[in-house]
Amino acid sequence: MSDIDPSDMPYRAGSPAGPPRGYPSQGYPSQGYPPPPGHGLQPPAHGLQPPIPANAPQTPYPNYGASQPPKKRRVWRWVGGVILVCLLGIGGCAYAVVQAVKPTIDTTNELMAAVAEGDFTRAAALSSNDPDCFGDVAEQELSASFEGLTVESYNFASSSVTSQDGDSAAVVTGTVTFGGGTEQAVDVVLVKEAGEWKVCGLR
């Protein structure tokens, strides 16, 4: 009978000879052979994560896609610019109106100053020679209108200017105080001739 090496015998489960040479024994991995997959517990890749308390603050995640609201400083800068433009526009319109009516008030005050001094020649020079106004008798008509009256003071500060078909007219409204303290409302009508305002009548 020849000697038989147990390692050359075929392996059978439960055989006392054990697994063939080069194979790890079941349950005892040999050096150099990793355990077969799927057997045993696999540790997590990064270790166990500790539980998060219920009252722990939540860390917000940045939202890179959401648009940021405009800064209040830029909004107020824009609003301030609009207000400034409006104020400049209003101021410019007011200045234009003053420049339009001021010459009519100045001419009226010059007329009343001449009448108060009794200088109807100078008053007539401020009047229109148009036939629809005083014509050529401005001095006589003005003198007759104020005959027997003494002008103590006058106040003209309101004027209304209108233009139509290239012709401009104005009505200056004010008051005249005569001797004895009698105050009367007076309207002075003016027309524009050759760029200058001339008195056309009183009412």
pLDDT digits (tens, 9 = 90+) for 170-187: 999 999 999 999 999 999
Q: What is the pLDDT of residues 120-179, one digit of tens each?
A: 999 999 999 999 999 999 999 999 999 999 999 999 999 999 999 989 999 999 999 999
Percent helix, strand, coil in the chain, to 5, is 30, 25, 45
| Bridge partners, residue 183, by sequence | 177
- DSSP structural state of residue 9: S
Question: What is the reported pLDDT for 92?
Answer: 56
* Secondary structure class of 29 (helix, strand, coil): coil
Across the beta sheet with 196-202, what order do the strands follow? 151-164, 167-178, 182-193, 196-202
Q: Which run of H or of E encompasses 169?
A: strand 167-178
For a pLDDT cut of 70, what percent of the chain falls above it?
52
Please check whether residue 22 lies inside any domain of the structure: no
Q: Which domain holds residue 149?
A: 103-202
Q: How far apart are the first and last CA of the chain?
A: 162
Say if residue 28's pLDDT is above 50: no
Question: Is 132 a domain residue?
Answer: yes
Classify residue 198 by burial, with Cβ atoms within 10 Å: 0-12, 13-18, 19+: buried
In a domain? residue 167: yes
Query: How many Å apart are CA 185 and CA 90, to the nearest integer?
Result: 31
Does 63 or 182 have the greater pLDDT score?
Answer: 182
Does 72 map to a domain?
A: no
Residue-level pLDDT at 100: 75
Q: How large is the C-alpha radius of gyration of the chain?
A: 56
Q: Is the pLDDT of residue 119 over 90?
A: yes
Q: Is 140 part of any domain?
A: yes
Which domain CATH number covers 189? 3.10.450.50
Count of domains observed in the chain:
1
Residue 46 predicted with pLDDT over 80: no
pTM confidence score:
0.56
Does some domain include residue 108? yes
